[in-house]
Structure 1
């Protein structure tokens, strides 16, 4: 039954798209047939309904519009066809002579399209003029003469503009067909010409000399001056897709506390607003040539939380040292990627990762591995959570946080497909369990079966909640959560006009006022407290949003069930019990030997029959066999507690910056030696990067 329900939900969008396409083609057919007969009532109705329906799809059903675009039936073709059929109808209707006395209607219709294309050309020029070579956040850009964006329908929504501005013309021509009076058509087309022409003139005002944005050379000169004034020393470099921003966001608090002048360097324009609230300056370099402005800056080192195709481009800057810090450590192959040998150093949490690279034999030398701990784990509480010992609680909170299926789709990567439903079924069968289910945000992106299993698991949890009952927090708890959420949104979300473009957002996201990051941290803690207080202690939860974060879920849980992933390594900071699902097909002995993070865990088979024993040990009903092993494994994975991870991280920063300084001194000394290349000038860097930009691949 769940599978059938899921299939129907998946089929409904396709059915909707097909229905919309059939309806559109039916309207075109009705317009054509009624124009040839001619039959005026149907002709007028089909013409007006056609553009109304097309406009509705453009604003409300973009998926259908995208499908039409794939078959080369875009909005311009559709509107031209619709107007052509109207002309055919006017030729066939008695009392109307569009080629005689009413010929000005056809001429006016052609003028309307000329104005449309003129408006479109102006929009393209304006968009290109307002696209800067860099995008920034938390940097004062007043010297660049940035300005607010034109209305979105004029500058960036050509399809919406064409349909919306063509409505008066279509309605006017339909009235002419119904009344044989050409004045209606003339009025309608005149209004459309005024809209298109006025739009073009409006856009042209953004191209006036005093309103145009600064040119590329001026922007880059401004950036060089800003870099010289700010004097950055440590940068975090990040490139990736829309769903990968969390990999950078998890390092923001650490970067903000790092010694020196921190900087965030991005490569994709959309990523600028994917980065969470921070006071650290952000610069996005979409092109390699622009990024080489960093070569002559004071920047000494870069931190890399992820490997990306564009990473190889920044590694070519010889004045900067590079450290790979990863976005989490686990026993998976991705945590000892051969690409890591491209960096100057590989920073890991503890001895386990050092051993992992040594055993993997992927070219990373042991001397280049630096143990720095995991400074961002400080919010994780040690012990059994804030509510007291698990044995004394009415409900045992279990956090089930499976990972995703991975790029290779190996069934051993995630427990969701083979074991997830069994794990959840055993947990829900225990009346003293409160389940918090937090799947990886990319679950189902690679293997559809994982997405289907995830949907079935969430359905099981909802059904279990429907069978439970008990006292709930009063309305004041919900009101408090709403208030805290509004405050947090105010601090973390920048409200932009609907028409705001990249330049306008850049203008509004200048230097932050005060310590915004500290305010966000305080507001987040208040929201998290209100969030958990808004639910009764017996209610199972499904957490799929970015908030609450995984570490907050750690502090609420008494035990974790997960897969071989960085979640397990981070959880060990709490020293609380955990279980790992073995869906690899290995025996338990082989599984523990292959994945050191499992050595202090309860191993669950796909049938999840070990869940009751796991719960009994958490509640103190039976001995916890892994208590001592967890403390030992924590130090092996995350390093010693003293000195604190933050101190070790900063020590590593100082050491790598010192290596960058030493290299600069050596290169300066060699500058006058024949045959030895010195540091390139800015012009040389731009030339080199421009020539090779298109050929760089990872």
Structure 2
């Protein structure tokens, strides 16, 4: 009986070890990837990848067990221990070799024709984000250029969020040694979507490339007039409102750096919601979206701590509405999220007749929600300006009891109603938004100020600006990566 037990344990150990080694080998390959191209992955030894070797040990163990004798079992166990030690040693050496060969494999990816001919690059880093939504929102506009480009990622966890495309590949620069050039030789323009400090290293290392800040939204918040913006060669902005914002906040930037490109992610309204008051009696959709608290108090406009009050007064407004709540993606990592979630659940547990409520999935596209909404409730953020493009009514939250003097620095608020700090006036504000809509004329005027491309075909202004940059380049030939490293 003891021999049978040993036999079963040995067989299970062989199978488990074989599975673990192959899985660890796959994990190491992903953890040391140099690009989205499979050919640039480090190839593990066959002893780690081939399941036939594990099957051979299983066969030995089974044959040894069939003899029901201690000596065959001992021989089988010794084979297992020896082979396992060999595989673990190979696994450790493979991991070391994969890391050491990273730069060489990265250089091999640069020889791929799609990458070798790419004149545009997008650099992205933001370790705090679970998803790279700041960058992925620009994929469609860049793909629409019909120009090959590369995406340079600092965090490997973000790679899985970039779908395969015939126009771009992703390069991973997380393991690149300090001061090592990593742009393809053909690069003429590098786009950025945030003001992470790591951007400065890329700019400094590539003085012969045009560096353009896109940002991931246009808002009246401090990130949209960050003094760091002055280091870029050009700033692509939605409209005159964005340009005036820098000057209004004392950030001096040469006017010739700005390019008005609108928001290419936004399609012009195609339905009557944008220009006419909603019809009485029809069911409407109210979307509530929050921003995140940010890193500094002067950029904290987040209404998440008041979300339960806002949603309570919304669902109890007496309107036949479908309510959708979409928190900012970073909110789910906030220490107070569980408490917020519980309070929101309590506030929406008992819904009046004719009212529905749901929490938006974190992956839901905010631009799709803009289209679905008849009214948006949101914080001071880029969401306000993006939604302004639709022409539909909106309500701005007021978690800190803003004064009139304070709001003068936030012109985007003028096109919408301002909620009370306790949100108690939401029923009357929703009644106006879904009825007379008294701010419609002011909203249309503000939209023209915010979007310099309004009325033009979608993405036309953005494409013109990109093509103008590419045509203007007359750059000296850069040295190949290997020569730069040697220097």
Pair in the same fold by TM > 0.5 = yes
1:330 equivalent in structure 2: 219
Give distance in 1, aligned partners of 2:89 and 2:366: 49
Counterpart Cα distance in 2 of 1:246 and 1:125: 29
Aligned to 1:552: 368
Q: Which deviates further from its counterpart, 286-295 or 237-246?
A: 286-295
Equivalent in the alignment of 1:612: 427
Q: Deviations over 1:372-406 (max 9, x none)?
A: 110011276554289x9633444332111111211
> What secondary structure is seen at the aligned counterpart in 2 of 1:632?
helix
1:380 and 1:554 in contact (8 A); partners too? no
The equivalences for 1:377-456 within 5 A come to 377-378=266-267, 381=270, 383-384=272-273, 390-408=278-296, 412-417=300-305, 419-431=306-318, 432-443=320-331, 445-446=333-334, 448-449=335-336, 452-456=339-343
TM-score (norm 2): 0.79
Q: For residues 279-325 of structure 1, what are the alpha-carbon distances to aligned partners after superposition, in whole Å with 9 as ceiling and x for unaligned?
A: 42222222445962426x11110111122242222212123211000
Tell me, in whole angstroms, the C-alpha distance in 2 between the residues paired with 1:129 and 1:607.
Answer: 52
Q: Secondary structure at the match of 2:181?
A: helix
What are the superposed Cα offsets for residues 573-605 of structure 1, whole Å, 9 maximum, x if unpaired?
110110101223332x22431211101110011
Deviation at 1:244, TM superposition (A): 4.5
Contact 1:252/1:278 (<8 A) preserved: no
How many angstroms apart in 1 are the aligned matches of 2:84 and 2:222?
55
The residue number in structure 2 matching 1:351 is 240
Per-residue deviation, 1:683? 4.0
**Number of residues of Structure 1 aligned to a counterpart in Structure 2:** 453
C-alpha separation between the residues in 1 aligned to 2:26 and 2:300?
51
2:31/2:156 contact within 8 Å kept: no
In the alignment, structure 1 residue 647 sits paired with structure 2 residue 446: no
Quick check: 1:428–1:464 contact (8 Å CA) kept in 2? no
Match of 1:233 in 2: 119
Structure 1 pair 150–594 and aligned structure 2 pair: CA distance change class (3 A)? farther
Residue 72 of structure 2 corresponds to residue 256 of structure 1: no
Task: Name the counterpart of 2:350.
Answer: 464
Distance in 1 separating the partners of 2:29 and 2:453:
54
- Cα deviation for residue 563 of structure 1 reads 0.4
* 1:360 aligned onto 2:360: no
Unaligned runs of 5+ in 1: 1-111, 155-167, 169-182, 470-537, 669-678, 689-698
Q: Does 1:581 align with 2:397?
A: yes
Say if 1:148 and 1:569 are closer, same or farther in 2 by CA, change over 3 A: farther
Greater share of helix: 1
Change (3 A) 1:452 1:254: same
Match of 2:437 in 1: 624
Please state if 1:685 is matched with 2:479. Answer: no
Q: Distance in 1 between matches of 2:232 and 2:157?
A: 26
CA distance in 2, matches of 1:306, 1:287: 21
Number of the residue aligned with 1:102: none
Report if aligned partners of 2:21, 2:88 keep a CA contact under 8 Å in 1: no
1:565 deviates by: 0.8
Deviation at 1:202? 4.8
Aligned twin of 1:595: 410
Alpha-carbon distance between aligned partners in 2 of 1:123 and 1:217, rounded to the nearest angstrom:
24
Mapped contact 2:375–2:434 kept (Cα < 8 A): no
Matched, 1:268 2:155: yes
Closer, same or farther in 2 for the Cα pair 1:414/1:145, shift >3 Å? closer
Relative to structure 1, is the Cα distance of residues 590 and 230 closer, same or farther in structure 2, using a 3 angstrom cutoff? same
SS at match of 2:235: strand
**SS of the residue 1:612 aligns to:** helix
Kept in 2, the 8 Å contact 1:330–1:565? The answer is yes
Shift of 1:203: 6.2
Change (3 A) 1:219 1:379: farther
- Please say which structure displays the higher CA radius of gyration: 1
Q: Which residue of 2 aligns with 1:321?
A: 210
Aligned equivalents of 1:627, 1:208: Cα separation in 2: 67
What per-residue deviation string (whole Å, max 9, x for no partner) do you get for residues 454-487 of structure 1? Answer: 43113422x135x658xxxxxxxxxxxxxxxxxx
Contact 2:32–2:42, Cα closer than 8 Å, also in 1? no
Counterpart in the other structure of 2:64: none
Contact 2:268 2:455 survives alignment (8 Å):
no
Inter-partner Cα distance in structure 2 for 1:202 and 1:460: 56
- The alpha-carbon deviation at position 415 of structure 1 amounts to 1.4
Mapped to 2, the partners of 1:149 and 1:456 lie a distance apart of: 54
- Counterpart in 1 of 2:105? 219
Equivalent residues in 2 for 1:89-238 (5 A)? 134-137=34-37, 141-142=38-39, 146=43, 194-202=79-87, 215=101, 219-227=105-113, 230-238=116-124
Q: Is the contact between residue 48 and residue 87 of structure 2 (CA under 8 Å) also seen in structure 1? A: no
Structure 1 residues 611-644: Cα deviation after superposition (integer angstroms, max 9, x where no partner): 1222221332xx3221011111112112232433
